[in-house]
Amino acid sequence: MGTEIEKRLFGNTGHLSSRAIFGSVSLRFAGEEGAEQVLETLMKYGINHVDTAPRYGDAEISVGKWMKRYRDRFFLATKVDQSSYKEAKEQLYRSLDRLQTDHVDLLQVHNLTDVVFRELAMGPKGTLELLSEAKEEGLTRFIGITGHGAQAALMHVQSLERFRPDSVLLPCNYLMMQIPQYRENFERLIKCCSGKGIAVQTIKAAARGLWGDKSRNHITWYEPLNDQNSINKTVHWVMGHTDTFLITTGDMEVLPKFLKAVSSFVEPPAEDEMNDLVRERGMTPLFNQ
């Protein structure tokens, strides 16, 4: 049995979310049996917050089967990745149908890190109009933005100067935080979010690096760390250096190890331990500045 994971207030939403948030991209090829095994694992660790998206294969369909039975147990988040109001609205209604619910708790603009996409999304008849309308109509309780890549922290800082979401999501791991410019922008974002009661979600805590020429034995687009000791150190480092929530790994095999790491956190590893791990495991940054 897993040890139940700590719960914290998710920004100003009033919801106590498990510090580990289930990233349902791992369900995209899971099938019904695999999805049920994952659900059992989440229940063991007391995970009560699920993050999904329409581009995650059949993930919304699998999550929808859970919601049909356990909607009141989960804070449910999905995303839209279209820049126009019309296309985003169509995507949202399709997600609600697949998720078997009449509302989500958090609706996020997916990867708001491209300047052109952002201007369209924030402009007339853009996605942000849809998010505001969805909140007014009760189709979502809260709204958020997500981002990938080395510019995510900076782009989020800029976006927060123009509107106030309820949450943000972006990469955070040991190697990315060794990039001075990324670390500076990440810390600016954390300070801004803390002052405004905006929840911060992080991804890629336990990434080893890009696949390169290696044979792929996990479904993630990057190579994840897959031994418990390495996952413990990388996850504990993020937990010890930020007050953020951690989105779980996108690989079903690694998921139980990731949750075990979160549940066993006491203190972060020392810098020399992390540097030794980087060298021993051949870790490299996923994104360069």
**What share of the chain has pLDDT > 70, as a percent?**
99
Range(s) of the domain holding residue 149: 7-281
Q: Which residue has the higher pLDDT, 254 or 289?
A: 254
Report the length, in residues, of the chain. Answer: 289
pLDDT digit string, tens, across residues 131-175 = 999 999 999 999 999 999 999 999 999 999 999 999 999 999 999
Q: How confident is the model at residue 2 (pLDDT cuts 50, 70, 90)?
A: low
For residue 70, being part of any structural domain is answered with yes
Q: Quick check: 42 pLDDT over 50?
A: yes
The rounded distance, in Å, linking the Cα atoms of 201 and 169 is 4
For residue 2, being part of any structural domain is answered with no
For residue 288, being part of any structural domain is answered with no
Q: Quick check: 211 pLDDT over 90?
A: no
To the nearest 10 degrees (0 to 180), the angle between helices 85-99 and 127-136 is 50
Q: Quick check: 31 pLDDT over 70?
A: yes
Which residues make beta-bridge pairs with 223? Answer: 209
Please, are residues 145 and 166 in contact by the beta-carbon 8 Å criterion? no
Report the pLDDT averaged over residues 260-289.
94
For residue 38, being part of any structural domain is answered with yes
Q: Quick check: 289 pLDDT over 70?
A: no
DSSP class of 84: B
Number of H helices, E strands in the chain: 10, 12
How far is C-alpha 176 from the geometric centre of its chain's CA atoms? 16
Average pLDDT, the chain: 94
Predicted local distance difference test score (pLDDT) of residue 1: 46
Q: Which residue has the higher pLDDT, 213 or 254?
A: 254
Number of separate domains in the chain:
1
For residue 12, being part of any structural domain is answered with yes
Q: Quick check: 215 pLDDT over 80?
A: no
**What share of the chain has pLDDT > 90, as a percent?**
88
Predicted local distance difference test score (pLDDT) of residue 29: 80
Predicted local distance difference test score (pLDDT) of residue 38: 94
Exposure string over 232-247, b if 16+ CB within 10 A, otherwise e: bbbbbbbbeebebbbb
- Domain with 244 in it: what CATH number? 3.20.20.100
Q: Quick check: 219 pLDDT over 90?
A: no
Q: Which of 98-107, 109-118, 208-217, 245-254 has the lowest mean pLDDT?
A: 208-217
For residue 286, being part of any structural domain is answered with no
pTM over 0.75: yes
How far is C-alpha 101 from the geometric centre of its chain's CA atoms? 21
